[in-house]
Chains A and B, each alone.
Chain A
Amino acid sequence: MSWRIVYVTESEEMKLYLDNLKVVKREQEILIPLSDIHTIVVDNHRTVVTGRLMNKLAEYHILLIFCDETHNPNVFSMGLYSHYRVYGVLRDQMKWNDEIKGEMWKKIIQIKIHNQLSVLRYLKNSDDSIKRLTSYAKDVMFEDRTNREGLAAKIYFNELFGKNFVRQRGAVDVYNSALNYGYMVLRACFARSVVAHGLHPSFGIGHRNQFNAFNLVDDCMESFRPIIDFWVYMIMNDAEYLDRERKQALIGKLHNKVQIGGQKQTVLNAIDLFVQSFIKAMDTKNLNLLTYPENGIAI
């Protein structure tokens, strides 16, 4: 069972030594067993990684993220065909019909709005927004045809981060950059889990953008987004910009416990549980099998 996150800020070389990750740092060597590692984040552009290590990382399903000059996650690598039954799973995935996809998408959006609600309830107490979100959650239609997701998100973000806040991908203000960072790491974790379970990440259910290689990943992570929003609110509250300590704090929070399927699990485990149950629910066309985070709060 993998449970460690390794965050490399300063190192000359990373290589393999007897199924251990060997990190060379100022002529000192540190060994970390690969079987413990879930994710490696490399936040500098001097580290050299050997090909032998890359191969072994794929074997152990370890997610390797490289950050660019602006310290934002930019590349992630994973073994593509690492599942033992890759054809069987893919065949089942191709059989998912539009009926079940639309229903599942509806359910995921409902969960997402409910989780947004739980964040608002925990942090703020604005009856008006809560009432509107509750009614939106109830009104979500097949395939979310009436776009309740977008309407809910607007109210939710304005309530959480202030009236002037506009959610944008390229924006550099404190909250947007932290959200982008958090979502990116979450997306990478989901991509790892989706691929490790043998699914093809491009064939989504709600997202069908022909230019997106990770449609299915974006579908699956929807209900986990409020967890990131909550952390960003807590961490960035009095910050002027997103610095390295806060980034590390954001990543470290992936070990917080979230309520899922009647028990408390780390967010990393919850992601795996979600993907497993998602596959089961889609294959058997029984949406009650889906286990998902019961609220957006992971402390």
Chain B
Amino acid sequence: MRLLVFFDLPMNTKEEKRIYIKFRKFLIEDGFMMLQFSVYAKIFPNRISLVQYVESLKRNLPKKGSVRAMAITEKQYENMLILVGGKTMQEQTVSDEPMVIL
């Protein structure tokens, strides 16, 4: 299972930029990887842990701006069309496989 998070945050004042940086760091600390700018994905071993995680994510959201999340299965993620560009090294090595060989 993967949880995709898409966000737009206002970046006009210093304070708003601070909130944006804090949120982005929070996502990476929690195990999200950047798919594209403002699109982050996190891998879960099963649906239960995903549902549990979403509750804790909800407690750490910025007040303003727009944040959306979507849960999809590995199969659906695999079927994503890559039209321009390719998969990153990160994406290729770190999948839902329990064993990562580097």
Contacts and interface: CB of A to CB of B under 8 A. Distances in A.
B72 interface: no
Contact of A4 (B28, B30, B33, B100): B100
A8 B100 CA distance: 8
A33 B30 CA distance: 7
Interface of A: 1, 3-11, 17-20, 23, 25, 28-36, 248, 251-252, 255
Given A1-B49, A28-B89, A30-B93, A7 B101 contact: yes
B99 A25 contact: no
B3 to A, nearest CB: 13
Given A31-B33, A36-B31, A23 B49 contact: no
B45 A6 contact: no
Contacts of B102: 6-11, 23, 25, 30
Tell me whether chain B's interface is mostly helix, strand or loop, or mixed: mixed
Contacts of B25: 18
A230 to B, nearest CB: 19
29 contacts: A1-B45, A1-B49, A3-B45, A4-B98, A4-B99, A6-B99, A6-B100, A7-B99, A7-B100, A9-B101, A9-B102, A10-B102, A17-B28, A19-B28, A19-B30, A19-B31, A23-B102, A25-B102, A28-B89, A30-B93, A30-B102, A31-B28, A31-B33, A31-B90, A32-B94, A33-B30, A35-B30, A36-B31, A36-B43
A30 B93 CA distance: 8
B29 interface: yes
A6 B97 CA distance: 10
Q: Which of A23, A31, A248, A252 has the most CB of B within 10 A?
A: A31
A32 B90 CA distance: 9
Nearest to A266: B98
Contacts of B28: 17-20, 31
